[in-house]
Structure 1
Amino acid sequence: MLKLPTIDQFIGEFDTVLRTLAAPAASVRPHPDRELAEADLTEAEKTHAAGLMRVNHCGEVCAQALYQGQALTAREPAAREALKQAAAEEVEHLAWTRQRLDELGSHRSVFNPLWYAGSFAMGVTAGLIGDKWNLGFLAETERQVTAHLESHLTQLPEQDAKSRAIVTQMAIDETSHAEQAVALGAAELPSPVAKLMTLTSKVMTNLSYRI
């Protein structure tokens, strides 16, 4: 049965919104690129790498909102905890991508608040439909994110070892989240829903890469 959040929970959730959009994230694990030297990148390469990392940072903002909404409406404790665990690791991804953007002398997407609101609404909706669909949405999201990250590994400058190390570890984590969701009973989403998710992701990607 779905339980309505308490006032304290609402305050906690609002704090998550503020920390995601405004405050620097913290990483429990060491940053994947901590021991790697900065590459000698041309301005064009640096701009391209920054654009890709901005997209990845934006994706992590969306993930926080999505899992926050899903966890709020999840019915079973196991599903709720899986979503919270995934969100915790996404916070680390936020920290890694934000720091990398700073190192590349670039900015975060100005559309982040908009993407956050939309992703939160999608997460709440997925949770209200039922836990197996909630977990199915998580699994499909992580599969698409993994494919997206793997495509970035083919696009990043070969010598940019720092960005590549971050993206590689993120892909490993996202795959793990998808496998966990499937193990907990995730339903396979209908093809039209998965295609709509892909289309939405492309719109976000194209805008965030530039702005």
Structure 2
Amino acid sequence: MTSATTHPVHTGPHLPGVALLMGLGARAERSAGPVPTGFVPFVFQGVAMLRKLTRTDNLIQQFDTVLRTLVPHAAQPSRPSPAVKARDGDMDDAERRHAEGLMRINHTGEVCAQALYQGQGLTAKLPDTREQMEHAAQEEIDHLAWCDERLKELGGRTSYLNPLFYAASFGLGATAGAVGDRLSLGFVAATEEQVGRHLDAHLKALPAGDRRSRAVLEQMREDEAHHERWALEAGGTRFPAPVKLGMKLMSKVMTQSVYRI
């Protein structure tokens, strides 16, 4: 087993396994700084260490992320939903169904974003770019979980087409990352710009009484704008108008199909 250690963390031999696994990352970070990308904490004789991830580890990690993305209610957010601070007003059945359709579109959009970041993170060449992709992907997991939770509150479900859109987005992301980081970052910026426009439109289209969905979308809009700025500031290529038009047409196919399916 190939391993690398940084400031071992003594946890004691009697600490329960589950509690140890839950607290290991935080303990290691307090003691030795953040866990480097490409390493994973493990325990040897009561001491927390770092082991370099193998190809098998990465495959398992990717598969776990796929499941958390596609299985309903499996994604766990790192931040509480913005909806917890909002209370809905009155909505009739038609308004509730419309809100459900809009949030299903937003959920599928986050599935696509998660797949895009995963594909790009897999093939990105620069470590800094890869780390930023992973951080952005975690924020997209938050969005995914928030939309999933809101759909459940509205009595709705996620789209049956999610696996198809996930596969297509993952392939696009991996291809962009393999070509080069500037193109990959440019693709992120163009995608986030498109997502931002969708969110703006949905904020206007939501029923007035759907304040909980509105709170979620407003926070998502702020995060997506940050992702777009980061991608451009990191050296991403600005895509020409014809490319953005093509992306817009592809996005339209997704939104029209997912609203009901």
Amino acid at match of 2:238: E
Instruction: Quote the Cα distance in structure 2 between the aligned partners of 1:103 and 1:158.
Output: 17
The correspondence for 1:138, drawn from 188, 193, 199, is: 188
Native 8 Å contact 2:104 2:147 kept in 1: yes
The match for 1:167 is 217
Amino acid at match of 1:91: I
Native 8 Å contact 2:111 2:162 kept in 1: yes
The match for 1:19 is 68
The match for 1:150 is 200
Q: Does 1:194 align with 2:241?
A: no
Give the superposed CA RMSD: 1.1
Instruction: Quote the Cα distance in structure 2 between the aligned partners of 1:26 and 1:73.
Output: 25
Instruction: Quote the Cα distance in structure 1 between the aligned partners of 2:248 and 2:133.
Output: 21
Instruction: Quote the Cα distance in structure 1 between the aligned partners of 2:244 and 2:59.
Output: 30
The match for 2:56 is 7
Amino acid at match of 2:148: R
Instruction: Quote the Cα distance in structure 1 between the aligned partners of 2:218 and 2:120.
Output: 26
Can you list the C-alpha shifts for 1:29-70, whole angstroms capped at 9, x where unaligned? 221010222322100000000000000000001111110000
Deviation of 1:191 after TM superposition, in Å, equals 2.6
5+ residue gaps, structure 1, are none
By percentage of residues, which structure has more helix?
1
Amino acid at match of 2:67: L
Amino acid at match of 2:56: I
What TM-score does the superposition give when structure 2 sets the normalisation length?
0.77
By percentage of residues, which structure has more strand?
2
Native 8 Å contact 2:88 2:209 kept in 1: no
The list of structure 1 runs, each at least 4 consecutive aligned residues, that deviate by more than 4 angstroms after superposition, is none
Native 8 Å contact 2:89 2:208 kept in 1: no
Aligned to 2:82, the other structure's residue is in SS state: coil
Amino acid at match of 2:65: T
Q: Who wins on radius of gyration, i.e. which is larger?
A: 2
Instruction: Quote the Cα distance in structure 1 between the aligned partners of 2:207 and 2:57.
Output: 46
What TM-score does the superposition give when structure 1 sets the normalisation length?
0.95
Identity among equivalent positions (%) equals: 52
Q: For this pair of structures, how many residues does the alignment match?
A: 207
Instruction: Quote the Cα distance in structure 2 between the aligned partners of 1:74 and 1:139.
Output: 15
Deviation of 1:192 after TM superposition, in Å, equals 2.5
The correspondence for 1:79, drawn from 113, 119, 129, is: 129
Q: Does 1:117 align with 2:194?
A: no
